[in-house]
Structure 1
Amino acid sequence: MMLLNHIVWNVDPEIFSLGPLSVRYYGVLWALSFLLGYMLFERFVKKESLPEGYLDSLTIYVAIGTIVGARLGHCLFYEPAYYLSNPIEILKIWRGGLASHGAAIGIITALYLFSRKTKRPTIYILDRIVIPVALAGVLIRLGNLMNSEIYGVETSLPWGFKFVRDFPMGTPIEHIPAMHPTQIYEALAYLAGFVILYLIYKKSDAKPRPGLLFGIFLIVTFGTRIVIEFIKQPQVGFEADMTLNMGQWLSIPLVIAGLVFIYFAYKRKKA
C-alpha cells in the first residue's frame, strides 16, 4: 500500500467574483470570526445580565481595535522604513499585511477605552473577550491556509503541504517542496486554547478569577507562536539572519505578562 508523503494544496483563495467585487475565503473567515464572537459573547451578556447595548458597543470597539492594531502592527513592526516613507500605503489593507501582535495591542487599547466608558474594570472585559478571540484565531489561520501564506519550512513528514500557488504555473509537483502547514498547527493550538478558556469560564459559573483567563490566553497564544516560529518561513527579509525572529521577540513579553496575570489571579480574592 502506498503511503501518503505529501498533500498537494492548490485551493483558489477567491470563492467567486462579480465584476470588481471579489469574495475570498480569508475575508469570509474574518467576517465569520466576528459573527461567531458576537454570538458567543451574547451568551455571556445574557448570563451576566449586562446592560442593553453593551455588546453592540463592545463589537464596534473590538472591530476597530483589531483592524487598526493588526495593520499598524505589521507596518511598524515588520516594514517600518517602507511604510513610514509611504504612509498612504498603510491604508491599503486589501493588499495584505496584518500582525497578530498589533491586533493584540489594538484590542487591549480599545478595551481599555471601552472599560472607561462602561465603568467596568478592563480585566473584567479582557477575561471574557479572549474566549471569542481565541476562536477567531482559529478561523484567521485557516484563512491564511486558504491563501497559501504564512507556512513553514520544508519537511519530509507525510502531512507536509505542497503550496502549488506559490510557484510559477506549470511547475512539476515533484519540483515543489513539501512545507510544514504551520497555519494548521496554530489553528489547532488556538482551538485547544478556546476550549480550555470556555470550560474554565463555564466551570466558574461566569465568575473566573480576575486575570486568569487573560493570562492563559496570552501563554497559549503567544507561547504557541514562539514555538511554531522556529519552523515557519520568515515573513520579511531581515528575519532570515535572526536567532529569534520578530514574532518571537514580540511574543516573549506577552507570555511573561500571562504568567504574571495568572500569579496575581490566584493571589487576589475570586471575583
Structure 2
Amino acid sequence: MLAYITWDVSPIIAQLGPLTLRWYGLLFAAAFIIGSLLLTHIYKAERVSARWVDVITIYMVLGTVLGARLGHVLFYDPDYYLTREHFFDIFKIWEGGLASHGATIGILLATWLFARNNKFDYLWVLDRIVIVVATGGMCIRLGNLMNSEIIGRQTDVPWAFKFVRYDLIHRQETTIPQELRHPTQIYEALFCLVLFGLLYYLWNRYKEQTPRGLLFGLFVTLLFTFRFLVEFLKENQESFEDRLPLNMGQILSLPLILIGLWVLLRAGKNLNNRFGYAPRDLHEPAATPPPARPITR
C-alpha cells in the first residue's frame, strides 16, 4: 500500500525560444487529433463521407474554445472580466481559465449549427460526437493533472497525491506541511475512459440502428452525475463558492443531468425518426464527364 504519491511534474515540456510547449496544450490538441481519427472511423462505418469530419472539427474547435472561455468568464469570474480595465483579458486564453460546462454549451451550439447547415439530424450528430468528447474529456483532465490544478480535498487514502507545485503557489507559509489530496483529475479521466468504452460498445453494436438520442442521453446523464458527485471531493475553484450550498460545478451539472434524462427516456421513440439521419455519401459516384466532341476536319 502506498502512503502517498508525490506529484512535482513541470507543466512545461520545452522552451523553444519565445514559444513555450506545455503539456496542457499538447493534450488539448491531442483531444482533437484522436477525436478526428475516431470520428472518421465512425462515419466511414455508417457510409458517411469522411470529408464531413473536417467540417465538423472546425465547428467543434470553435465551439469548445469559445464556450469554455466564456463559461469561465461568466460562471466563475465575471466580477474580474466584466470590468472596463480587465475586459480584454477575456481574449488571453493562454493565461488559463476554461470551464467544461461552458465547453458543453459551446459544443451543443456548434453541432446544432453544423447539423442545420449541412442537413444532418441534430441528435444523430450528437450521438456520434459524444463518443469523441469522452476521449477529449480524458485528455483535458490529464492536462489539468500536468498543471497541478483542479485538485481534490485532503484525504488519507493510500493513493493520495502531494501536489508540490500547487502548494508552493498557494501557500504563503512554506513551513506548513504539504497536504495529501484526492487526485480528482485522475478520477475524472478514468471515468471518461470508461464512458468512452460504454458509448463505443453501444454504437458498435447498433451503428445505423442506434436509437436516436441514446448515446447523447447516456453521456450527459452519466458524465454530469459523476461530475456532481466528484465535486464533493474537490477544492472549490473560486472563493465565492464557499458561501454556496453547492459549488458552481454542481449547480451547472443539475440542468444538464435533467436534459440527459429527458433525452434518454425519449430515445428512439419517435416512430417517424427512430435512428436519425445523415448524408450516406461515402461512395457517391464521381461526376460523369461530358461526352467527347467529335473531331471535325
Q: TM-score, normalised by structure 1?
A: 0.95
SS in 2 for 1:168: helix
SS in 1 for 2:266: helix
Distance of aligned partners of 1:204 and 1:17 in 2 relative to their CA distance in 1, 3 Å threshold = same
**Match runs of 1:200-215 below 5 Å:** 200-215=202-217
Corresponding position: 1:115 with 2:115? yes
Residue 16 of structure 1 is matched in structure 2 by 14
Residue 259 of structure 1 is matched in structure 2 by 261
Residue 145 of structure 1 is matched in structure 2 by 145
Contact 1:190–1:220 under 8 Å retained in 2: no
**Match runs of 1:171-250 below 5 Å:** 171=174, 175-250=177-252
Contact 2:144–2:185 under 8 Å retained in 1: yes
SS in 2 for 1:175: coil
Distance of aligned partners of 1:51 and 1:245 in 2 relative to their CA distance in 1, 3 Å threshold = same
Q: Deviations over 1:16-41 (max 9, x none)?
A: 11111111111111111100000000
Distance of aligned partners of 1:37 and 1:52 in 2 relative to their CA distance in 1, 3 Å threshold = closer
Residue 78 of structure 2 is matched in structure 1 by 80
SS in 1 for 2:98: coil
Distance of aligned partners of 1:84 and 1:196 in 2 relative to their CA distance in 1, 3 Å threshold = same
Q: Give structure 1 regions of 4+ aligned residues with deviation exceeding 6 angstroms.
A: none
Paired with 1:98 and 1:125, the residues of 2 have a C-alpha distance of: 24
Contact 1:33–1:135 under 8 Å retained in 2: yes
Paired with 2:116 and 2:269, the residues of 1 have a C-alpha distance of: 25
Normalized per residue, the structure richer in helix is 1
Larger radius of gyration: 2
For residue 171 of structure 1, report the CA deviation from its aligned partner: 4.7
Structure 2 residues without counterparts, runs of 5 or longer: 276-297
Q: Deviations over 1:219-245 (max 9, x none)?
A: 121111100001100111100122211
Aligned length: 268
Structure 1 residues without counterparts, runs of 5 or longer: none
Residue 166 of structure 2 is matched in structure 1 by 166
Contact 1:189–1:220 under 8 Å retained in 2: no
Counterpart among 32, 35, 38 of residue 36 in structure 2: 38
Q: Say what the alpha-carbon RMSD is for the aligned residues.
A: 1.5
25-34 or 198-207, which deviates more: 198-207
For residue 166 of structure 1, report the CA deviation from its aligned partner: 1.6
Amino acid at match of 1:106: G
Q: Deviations over 1:113-135 (max 9, x none)?
A: 11111111111100000001001
Q: TM-score, normalised by structure 2?
A: 0.87
